[in-house]
Amino acid sequence: MSDHPVIIKDENSGQSLELPIIRGTEGEPTLDINSLPASLGYFTYDPGFTATASCTSSITFIDGAKGILRYRGYPIEQLARQSNFLEVAYLLLHGDLPNCSEMDAFEHDITYHTMVHEKLNTFISGFHYDAHPMAMMAGVIGSLAAFYHDKMNMEDAEHRLLAAKRMVAKMPTIAAGCYRHHMGWPAAYPKNSFEYTERFLHMMFSVPTEGYEVSPVAARAMDLLFILHADHEQNASTSTVRLVGSTGANPYACVAAGISALWGPAHGGANESVLNMLDKIRDVSRVGKFVNRAKDRNDPFRLMGFGHRVYKNYDPRASIIRVAAHEVLAELGSNDPLMDLAMELEKIALEDDYFVAKKLYPNVDFYSGIIYKALGIPRSMFTVMFAIARTVGWVSQWLEQAETPTRIGRPRQVYNGTGERDYIDLKSR
């Protein structure tokens, strides 16, 4: 395709406008509509941002039609097979894979930022024991700003990177703290001798009264899920982080906002909802009934873990997780009937005309909950797991935004309320 501008003509005024095409290194050509309001007096209407690029970014590339996902150019399949979560974190934050000494230094930095200020635990213990951990996470991560406010100069690249590393390091400590508060267990401190996911599993499940051996199978499975969830370009929570970031708000506030956006069942909350749905379906014989409900326009029920705004093909992360789920269950000797139910549901939905026509495939969260369940992670913590991994993406995107000239994010609207009217005194109404 050539790079001639696209010319739009307003038949009302007879005026024309040339819209330049922006080309990234990959992906669809994009029209630059910045001049539209000033030139022709129009805004564009795009609810849900289905046709809108909100920024340029060099972090993650998705081709939804082909089912491609790459971090900094590396295919997700290769990273899932050959890398580990901390290396992927370095890649997303810095743009390239580290060499040995860079990796050692990064691992050291993350390890030595895993502890949280003791006073932070009072925020956690202030919650009721049955508070949803995502509500706790949003509050506690936001409160980090209060611990580092005098040491954060947003203009300083070193300070920004330090804040980013702090969040990657402290998320597992805080997440485990929220879980332990719910269980009524004393706080567990991060052990430097462990690797990232081992350390998290140890903080989650160790108790003072007896030893706890971290299962290498569980640690590796969690590491894989964290790699797959680490970033996904401008999804709802990342766009939230960027929108909040565009105001100049501190990174802890940005990530707290991202956590809140992730919680919704249409986004990261889907992994919890998938298992709730499988529970409701209960038996393979009832799958057809629920598939029919999902197709019924008058029924709000949707197949959770199915469909994606960008992927109109199999979500490449779902393909990897599907295989991993079988392997992890086999290695842990777990025989979860929900796995059979999920497979049957997937089979029936993928053969169904409705799902085929609408290109609805299983997404990353269809099988992730089954793996987390096998690892002993309680259901209410599933979205927290997602948040730990996605923090890397959020802070990478926040850093990129901070290094790029950015205007405050400020969409417009189509106003369809009442026209001007005069105020009438209360007694006269």
Name which of 111 and 235 has its Cβ closer to ligand ACO. Answer: 235
Which of 223, 231, 315, 365 does the annotation list as catalytic? Answer: 365
Distances (CA, A) of 92 to 73, 74, 227, 387, 390: 10, 10, 11, 16, 11
Residue 65, C-beta contacts closer than 8 angstroms, at least 6 positions apart: 312, 313
Name which of 251 and 305 has its Cβ closer to ligand ACO. Answer: 305
Euclidean distance between CA atoms 286 and 288, whole angstroms = 6
Name which of 267 and 373 has its Cβ closer to ligand ACO. Answer: 267
Whether 40 and 10 have beta carbons less than 8 Å apart is answered as yes
Q: CA quadruple 162, 123, 187, 220: dihedral positive or negative? A: negative
Euclidean distance between CA atoms 360 and 251, whole angstroms = 35
Euclidean distance between CA atoms 71 and 233, whole angstroms = 9
Name which of 199 and 232 has its Cβ closer to ligand ACO. Answer: 232
Name which of 66 and 108 has its Cβ closer to ligand ACO. Answer: 66
Residue 315 annotated to the active site: no
Residue 365 annotated to the active site: yes
Q: How far is the CB of 33 from ligand ACO (least distance, A)?
A: 22
Euclidean distance between CA atoms 400 and 146, whole angstroms = 24
Q: How far is the CB of 175 from ligand ACO (least distance, A)?
A: 18
> Please, which residues bridge with residue 6 across strands?
19
Report the Cα 356 to chain-centroid distance in Å.
26
Q: How far is the CB of 407 from ligand ACO (least distance, A)?
A: 26
Q: How far is the CB of 294 from ligand ACO (least distance, A)?
A: 4
Which residues of this chain interact with ligand ACO, rule CB under 6 A?
A: 48, 266-268, 270, 294, 302-309, 358, 360, 363-365
Distances (CA, A) of 409 to 112, 240, 241, 261, 390: 35, 10, 11, 16, 21
Give, rounded to a whole angstrom, the gap between the first and last alpha carbons of the chain: 63
From 38, 46, 108, select the one nearest 414 (Cα to Cα).
46
Q: How far is the CB of 341 from ligand ACO (least distance, A)?
A: 16
Reduce the DSSP state of residue 62 to 3 states and report it.
strand
Euclidean distance between CA atoms 227 and 81, whole angstroms = 10
Q: Tokens standing for 407?
A: 């205007």
Q: Phi and psi (nearest 5°) for 77?
A: -65, -40
Which of 308, 315, 352, 353 does the annotation list as catalytic? Answer: 308
Name which of 214 and 261 has its Cβ closer to ligand ACO. Answer: 261
Burial class (CB in 10 A: 0-12, 13-18, 19+), 71: buried
Q: How far is the CB of 266 from ligand ACO (least distance, A)?
A: 4
Residue 131, C-beta contacts closer than 8 angstroms, at least 6 positions apart: 182
Q: How far is the CB of 402 from ligand ACO (least distance, A)?
A: 25
Name which of 9 and 358 has its Cβ closer to ligand ACO. Answer: 358
From 135, 144, 180, 191, select the one nearest 165 (Cα to Cα).
144
Q: CA quadruple 417, 422, 427, 429: dihedral positive or negative? A: negative
Q: CA quadruple 189, 108, 227, 49: dihedral positive or negative? A: positive
Name which of 198 and 365 has its Cβ closer to ligand ACO. Answer: 365
Q: How far is the CB of 309 from ligand ACO (least distance, A)?
A: 4
Active site (catalytic) residues: 308, 365
